[in-house]
Amino acid sequence: MRKFSWLMLLMLLAIPNLQGQTERSPKDYFDSSVSRLQQGDDDGALTDINKAIELNPSFAQAYFVRGSIRFSKGDLDQALSDYNKVIELMPNAPGIEKVYNNRALVRRMKGDRDGAFDDYNKAVSLNPQFAEAYHGRGNGLGDKGDLDGALADYDKAIQLNPNHPAFYIDRGISYFQKGNLEKALADFDRALELAPNAANTYISRSIVRGLKGDIEGAIADIKKGASLNPAVVAEKGKASFTTPFSRLNDFVVSHPTNARAYELRGAFRLLQGQKPEAELDFRKSLELDPKLKSENDRLREVFKP
């Protein structure tokens, strides 16, 4: 009997303390990753989700989380790979339209507009009540130059979710591109009601206000936008997305006799440190409409280097 007791003791010593040292499961790492994400710890979240996938290579939801983390860190190729894996593992799962929507955004940012458009179409077909997919598809249609189609999709997105500022911003941009300044202004106003610290929206609204002759309103919006984020007055944006300045430049090209478009571009060029180019724009503005001299001078004064 004594020998049996010693044997049991040796076996107990060899077994880990199950209460304090239980190995963590893939779901434990998954839950920890989500918790870290909510706390803003992207690196810690990525470490945990990598461990969840290492322990369970078929854990589809973990690939989705990792794809989202990688996207937020700017790793588009790896994010795309993760979203592809989710669709491979669970092609017909409830909610899979969100994965198609996310993958579409990655594809669009990588310049694959056709692939993105296909994914948005798929998301809409899977869930006709998915507002974000209509919004994304509207962006895709805008990329293709189909502004009427884009507006129809933005209208549907807003019908399904009337409190999402991005829907109004992008619809406002499409209205601006069509030359409907009144509707563009209304959409930018609504977007700023919903998201009052959106720097890009202030800059977009400043352009519309300026083109409508509200120079003081334009100045106020430019100042506000630049104070929130100085980069919003830049000439070039990231990836495939255009800046408000780029859209203004396109407007100048398509409306070569619009004097206020030149004076606004001149103001932006002053902010970009391009004084000679700004002066050329102000000069062109006055050639087209000499009555704008006081406006030109006001913009020079406010935004001088």
What is the per-residue pLDDT for 242?
A: 78
Q: What is the pTM of this model?
A: 0.85
Cα–Cα distance measured from residue 100 to residue 133, given in angstroms and rounded to the nearest whole number: 9
Quote the tokens at residue 242. Answer: 């255009």
E strands, 171-251, where?
none
Asked if residue 141 belongs to a domain, the reply is: no
pLDDT of residue 238: 55
Read off the CATH number of the domain in which 272 is found. Answer: 1.25.40
Q: Is 84 exposed, middle or buried (0-12, 13-18, 19+ CB in 10 A)?
A: middle
User: Rounded to an integer, what distance in angstroms lies between the CA atom of residue 132 and that of residue 179?
Assistant: 25
Look at residues 93, 127, 145 and tell me which one is the last residue of a structural domain.
93
Q: Given 69, 93, 117, which residue is the final one in a domain?
A: 93
Task: Name the residue range of residue 253's domain.
Answer: 197-305
Cβ distance 104 to 139 under 8 Å? no
Residue 69 placed within a domain: yes
Let me know if residue 242 belongs to a domain: yes
Q: What is the mean pLDDT of the chain?
A: 91
Domain boundary among 38, 73, 93: 93
Q: Is residue 229 a part of any domain in this protein?
A: yes
Residue 245 lies in a domain: yes
Show the low-confidence residues of the chain (pLDDT under 70): 1-22, 236-241
Contacts of 71 (CB under 8 A, 6+ apart): 79, 102, 105, 106
- Give the pLDDT confidence score for residue 8 in this predicted structure: 36
Helix%, strand%, coil% for the chain, nearest 5: 75, 0, 25
Task: Look at the chain and report how many structural domains it folds into.
Answer: 2
The pLDDT, as a whole number, for residue 1 is: 36
Distances (CA, A) of 196 to 192, 193, 279: 5, 6, 33
Q: Is residue 294 part of a domain?
A: yes
Write the CATH number for 37: 1.25.40.10
